[in-house]
């Protein structure tokens, strides 16, 4: 490669990488190989990847180089490497969802999102580790080992998409894809010092996304900068006739918004309910500083009350398990995936029971049991029905808030990354990691987490959450881009440059 851009390839942003490839300053193959070498060097420590597709990545990179050599125009992310959460189907390479239930399964088709990435010329490096079937906040529930946080490998990288966030923070990929059911993109982003976005529900196709909770699951972009997230968002979003919940509407102008870096005249609401007991002092300190920064940048800041948000956590842990108990019923040992005990002497029911016992981990079993109980005769109205009523109240709180403000802000998660194992035996403590993120999933609106500094107690990253109305995703990028630019100017570098070297 030439020395026109002296920064090591793995430290480039996605936008810089795509620009260098388009100008011929570096080949897509060189970029892919640099990231594959990085994975080979550090992933034994991090465990961000479950499967690395070396051959496929280099073939995709060669196709980009050939296209450029022919003089064809390249897309804005052509040749950029990406780490894909192992919950999206990928034709020809494994999709396990972090579970023994799907160990060795090779899908015969690509998810719509996977296909759109390929069409955009993105180079998929491989599939990333995750909490089993996306159920967890720490990536400790994977059947294939725990992922470490690159800031401190003894701590969690968040969940369920900890592998995608860790791959970014470890400079194994400049882009990643996650899914967000209750905070599984934003919470890992917060604790790894990266950017994570939950798009409006229905704006990114769920076709080929292995379902956990169908009314909550949403794929979205993970990146190291707001602009990179916007570029990825634009590549994957848009209507899909294969997804019955897909919104048939134009994608908001997220890239343009990310480049604005101007919040003058915007009204920003601080959610009163997201503070107080249980919030780490350093997290609140960085959040308060972020709010003051928004004022300095010309935004009007007001306090907003959303009283039903305090009921979001219990409502979510009735709705999501109920839907998962239905969705995971397909893993019956008959059609695909694991089969245990089929020795010719057992009934189908016995084989199904033995397979589920062996194939599902403790957290998945816990949620299936919770959901089945909540949906059972005599309890449906008291539990699932009541939770759906709370969901309506939360949506109304959002509607009332957005009638007076452009976006809402809060901490992304109440604490920084906690030590691996600290909450493993305490499900309620684990669930509290999603306290601030869950309301947006229940309402279906858009939300982002971006890094706003380190907590003074432990020098670990803190995330700022920005929440926008449905189909107003561009507001996330406008506010996030302005905050990111101001902080980088203040620090003289990006936050990840402070991360300890692996």
> How confident is residue 7, by pLDDT bands cut at 50, 70 and 90?
low
Residues 27, 137, 160, 205: which is the catalytic one? 160
Query: Is residue 226 in a domain?
Result: yes
User: CA-CA-CA-CA torsion for 329, 441, 308, 394, nearest 10 degrees?
Assistant: -100
Is residue 40 one of the residues assigned to a domain?
yes
pLDDT reported for residue 5: 45
Q: Does the structure show a pLDDT above 80 at 6? A: no
Number of other CB atoms surrounding residue 375 within 10 Å? 18
Q: Based on the residue annotation, tell me whether 184 is a catalytic residue of this protein.
A: yes
Tens digits of per-residue pLDDT, 77-133? 999 999 999 999 999 999 999 999 999 999 999 999 999 999 999 999 999 999 999
Over residues 448-483, the pLDDT tens digits come to 999 999 999 999 999 999 999 999 999 999 999 999
Extended strands (E) in 329-435: 407-411
pLDDT in tens, 171-206: 999 999 999 999 999 999 999 999 999 999 999 999
Q: Residue 363 domain-assigned? A: no
pLDDT at 501: 87
CB neighbour list of residue 232: distance below 8 Å, 6 or more residues apart: 14, 77, 82, 175, 177, 221, 222, 223
Burial label for 347, CB within 10 Å (0-12, 13-18, 19+), is exposed
d(CA 433, CA 422): 13
Residue 461 lies in a domain: yes
Residue 22 phi, psi (nearest 5): -60, -35
Over residues 25-65, the pLDDT tens digits come to: 999 999 999 999 999 999 999 999 999 999 999 999 999 99
pLDDT in tens, 308-367: 999 999 999 999 999 999 999 999 998 888 999 999 999 999 999 999 999 999 999 999
Whether the predicted pLDDT of 1 surpasses 80 = no
In a domain, residue 313? The reply is no
Q: What is the pLDDT, as a whole number, of residue 3?
A: 45
Is residue 431 within 8 A of residue 317, CB to CB? The reply is yes
Q: What mean pLDDT is predicted for residues 12-33?
A: 97
Domain count, the chain: 1
Q: What is the CATH number of the domain that holds 64?
A: 3.90.1300.10
Peptide bond just before 160 cis, omega within 30 deg: yes
Q: Is residue 34 part of a domain?
A: yes
DSSP conformational letter for 418: P
Residue 297 forms part of a structural domain: yes
For residue 486, the enclosing domain spans: 9-308+394-498
C-alpha–C-alpha distance, residues 209 and 88, integer Å: 5
Catalytic residue, candidates 27, 85, 213, 246: 85
Confidence of residue 2 (pLDDT cuts 50, 70, 90): very low
Instruction: Note the pTM of the prediction, 2 decimals.
Output: 0.97
Mean residue pLDDT across the chain: 96
More confident residue, 141 or 379: 141
**160 has catalytic annotation:** yes
Interatomic CA distance for residues 194 and 163, integer angstroms: 12
3-state SS track over 5-54: CCCCHHHCCHHHHHHHHHHCCCCHHHHHHHHHHHHHHHHHHHCCEEEECH
Q: Is residue 272 part of a domain?
A: yes
Q: Of 27, 137, 138, 184, which one is the catalytic site residue?
A: 184
């Amino acid at each position: 490669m030439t020395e026109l851009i002296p920064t090591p390839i793995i430290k480039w942003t996605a936008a810089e990488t795509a620009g260098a490839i388009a100008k011929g300053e570096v080949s897509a193959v060189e970029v892919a190989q640099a990231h594959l070498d990085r994975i080979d060097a550090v992933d034994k420590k991090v465990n961000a990847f479950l499967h690395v597709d070396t051959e496929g990545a280099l073939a995709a990179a060669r196709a980009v180089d050939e296209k450029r050599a022919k003089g064809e125009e390249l897309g804005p992310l052509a040749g950029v490497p990406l780490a894909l959460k192992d919950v999206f189907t990928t034709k020809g390479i494994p999709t396990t969802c972090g579970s023994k239930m799907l160990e060795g399964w090779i899908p015969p088709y690509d998810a719509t999102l996977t296909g759109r990435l390929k069409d955009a010329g993105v180079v998929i490096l491989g599939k990333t580790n995750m909490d089993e079937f996306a159920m967890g906040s720490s990536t400790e529930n994977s059947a294939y080992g725990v992922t470490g946080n690159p800031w401190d490998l003894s701590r969690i990288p968040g969940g369920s998409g900890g592998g995608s966030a860790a791959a970014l923070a470890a400079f194994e990929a400049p882009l990643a894809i996650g899914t967000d059911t209750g905070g599984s993109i934003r919470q890992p982003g917060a604790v790894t010092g990266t950017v994570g976005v939950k798009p409006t529900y229905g704006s990114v196709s769920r076709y080929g996304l292995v379902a956990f909770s169908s009314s909550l699951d949403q794929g979205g972009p993970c990146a190291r900068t707001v602009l990179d997230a916007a570029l990825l968002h634009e590549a994957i979003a848009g209507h899909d006739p294969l997804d019955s919940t897909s919104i048939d509407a134009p994608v908001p102008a997220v890239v343009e918004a990310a480049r604005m870096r101007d919040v003058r005249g915007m009204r920003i609401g601080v959610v009163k309910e997201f503070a107080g007991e249980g919030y780490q002092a350093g997290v609140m300190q960085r959040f308060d500083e972020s709010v003051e920064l928004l004022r300095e940048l010309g935004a009007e800041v007001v306090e907003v009350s959303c009283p039903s948000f305090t009921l979001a956590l219990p409502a979510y842990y009735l709705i999501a398990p109920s839907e998962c108990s239905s969705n995971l019923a397909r893993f019956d040992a008959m059609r695909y995936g694991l089969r245990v005990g089929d020795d010719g002497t057992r009934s189908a029911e016995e084989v199904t029971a033995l397979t589920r016992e062996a194939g599902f981990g403790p957290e998945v079993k816990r949620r299936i049991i919770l959901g089945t109980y909540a949906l059972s005769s005599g309890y449906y109205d008291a539990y699932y029905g009541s939770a759906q009523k709370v969901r309506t109240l939360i949506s109304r709180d959002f509607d009332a808030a957005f009638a007076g403000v452009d976006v809402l802000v809060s901490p992304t998660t109440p604490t920084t990354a906690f030590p691996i194992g600290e909450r493993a035996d305490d499900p309620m403590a684990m669930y509290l990691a999603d306290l601030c993120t869950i309301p947006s999933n229940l309402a279906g609106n858009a939300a982002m987490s971006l890094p706003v500094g380190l907590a003074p107690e432990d020098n670990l990253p803190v995330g700022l959450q920005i929440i926008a109305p449905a189909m107003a995703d561009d507001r996330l990028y406008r506010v996030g881009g302005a905050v990111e630019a101001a902080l980088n100017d203040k620090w003289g570098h990006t936050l990840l440059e402070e991360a300890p070297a692996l």
